[in-house]
Structure 1
Amino acid sequence: MNLQGKTALVTGGGRDIGRSVSIALARAGVRVAINYNSGREAAEDTLKTIKDAGGDAFLIQADVTDSNAVKAMLDEVGIAFSGRLDILVNLAGGMVARKTLSEMDEAFFDQVMTLNLKSVFLVLQAAQPFLGEGSAVVNVSSLAGRDGGGPGASVYATAKGALMTYTRSMAKELGPQGIRVNAVCPGLIGTSFHDIFSKPEGRAATAGNTPLRREGHPDEVADTIVYLASPAASFLAGVCLDINGGLGFS
């Protein structure tokens, strides 16, 4: 895929799937702004990998749940990219913790919804002045948004399901401006997310129940995101594309 000369912002772009996305975009010729919040060491390693391969990228720290921080980030990105953002990948998010209905409180509910849904609204709204004809937005949802998620993941799953609806709404709203908005919905991907939140036996069982009998790799998600961001997907808008090895069908 050749996207030489394009610009991109990847939120949560320093580690796991975000790392793979940042590297894949840079490999395709994109100049990448890699957003991170607290994981600077991982982000610096991603940046080094890109630069060692001859790619063009830079780091930008911001908490995407903070509207002021998001605005400052997009102002900086807009200056760095001379007012033009071709690709926006909204990847920052997380489960925070597994909690059942009786275990969670209102603050936890709000935290998870803000991290996974409101953050996308904040970033997209701040990015809109820099998006234009031919720009592409890719949101990262989850299989959990389709099937309700595993034990203790109800709020995370709800946020990811809402993100799919928001993706379709924005595809309708921004499409007339030539801006395509799509999403990917990864299933079980081998990342630190599952190292933290999934038990080994449950993880192995899920992989075994997948028709392809394995976990996905972050690079497989990244390649799909690069495709959706490219002119090869020029007539795709409002798509929520499953990447789960056949574990679930929409």
Structure 2
Amino acid sequence: MANKSKEQGDAQDKMVRPKQAQDHQPGREFQMTPLPEWDVPDELKGARRLAGKVALITGGDSGIGRAVSVAFAREGAKVALVYLDEDRDAQETCALMEKEGAECEIFSGDVSEPAFCQSVVEKTVAKFGQLDVLVNNAAEQHPKDSIEGISPEQLQQTFAANVFSMFYLTKAALPYLEAQADSSIINTTSITAYRGSPGLLDYSASKGAIVSLTRSLSQSLVSKGIRVNAVAPGPIWTPLIPATFSEEKVATFGTDTPMGRAGQPWECATAFVFLASRESSYMTGQVIHINGGEIING
């Protein structure tokens, strides 16, 4: 057998998980190996910072959304979890929240549809009586080698799911957020909004739009007492990764960061708790970067 090339050897040395792929967006958590770590360490567990609050979290079934949902529940919030069609993941996340003594409700549907967004906000308020925190986290990505490979349909769907949904949900939630003291909107953007990604042109562009939306919306709503901030994750081990990339790329995902590894969902969730709580009461229009040490300007 021929000796491995240096490149093959380096790739093998960096392999941190089994090769794997999924053929469904945005991916299913229960099919991942190893499973993402959603639970924060014991020393960081809840201080009831969100007691009395109601949160609506999109993409809340798995990955970062699951970690945020459980972290919010542990901090005393009631949570409405929105997901596309990953029923098993959503039910498991709701069960995890209930173990924390929190009330939860799950809603399945497409956030790129304005009517669904309006409906899910109204159902959340009907169930819990109020809405204090909106977490716009749902997203999808479809890699292409060049711009020539991005069809009009893909471009429209990426922006509809990743950006338009935030407009629809914010518009629907606004009357209820205005009625609450210290309400907030938290958007999930990405490191790709700042450094780009040649194989994810439309996704990166959509995440850049989210940064601009966050900054502009924060100025629009500051007089209403609604804070708007964002979190920009780098490589985080979520179902979107095996549902997007090749088995080989999944196996070494995140090893090119200064920390040499992918982040875990719980390492993002703590930032969402901070932005939803009074601890961030003097912050709006800001982005928290959680990316394993890459320096990002902006």
How high is the TM-score relative to the length of structure 1? 0.94
Unaligned runs of 5+ in 1: none
Aligned to 2:170: 124
Give the whole-Å Cα distance in 2 for the aligned partners of 1:81 and 1:135: 15
Give the whole-Å Cα distance in 2 for the aligned partners of 1:77 and 1:196: 29
Post-superposition offset of 1:74: 1.0
Secondary structure of the corresponding residue to residue 192 of structure 1: coil
Match of 1:138 among 186, 191, 201: 186
Match of 2:155 among 79, 98, 109: 109
Work out whether residues 144 and 150 of structure 2, in 8 Å CA contact, stay in contact via their aligned partners in 1.
no
Secondary structure of the corresponding residue to residue 190 of structure 2: coil
Post-superposition offset of 1:204: 6.1
Give the whole-Å Cα distance in 2 for the aligned partners of 1:204 and 1:147: 23
Post-superposition offset of 1:100: 2.3
Aligned to 2:5: none
The structure whose RCO (Cα within 8 Å, separation 6+) is larger is 2
CA deviation string 1:78-123 (max 9, x = no partner): 21222x2111100011104435211122111111111111111011
Query: How many residues are matched?
Result: 248
Aligned to 1:217: 264
Q: Work out the percentage of aligned pairs sharing the same amino acid.
A: 33
The aligned amino acid for 1:37 is L
Give the whole-Å Cα distance in 2 for the aligned partners of 1:81 and 1:208: 42
Post-superposition offset of 1:47: 0.6
The aligned amino acid for 2:185 is V
Secondary structure of the corresponding residue to residue 229 of structure 2: strand
2:52 is the alignment partner of 1:5 = yes
The aligned amino acid for 2:97 is I
Aligned to 1:195: 242
2:120 is the alignment partner of 1:73 = yes
Work out whether residues 143 and 248 of structure 1, in 8 Å CA contact, stay in contact via their aligned partners in 2.
no
Unaligned runs of 5+ in 2: 1-46
**Deviation >6 Å, runs of 4+:** none
Work out whether residues 81 and 106 of structure 2, in 8 Å CA contact, stay in contact via their aligned partners in 1.
yes
Work out whether residues 17 and 191 of structure 1, in 8 Å CA contact, stay in contact via their aligned partners in 2.
yes
2:201 is the alignment partner of 1:154 = yes
Work out whether residues 11 and 34 of structure 1, in 8 Å CA contact, stay in contact via their aligned partners in 2.
yes
Work out whether residues 78 and 103 of structure 2, in 8 Å CA contact, stay in contact via their aligned partners in 1.
yes
Coordinate RMSD, CA, aligned: 1.6
Post-superposition offset of 1:232: 0.2
Post-superposition offset of 1:53: 3.0
Post-superposition offset of 1:196: 2.3
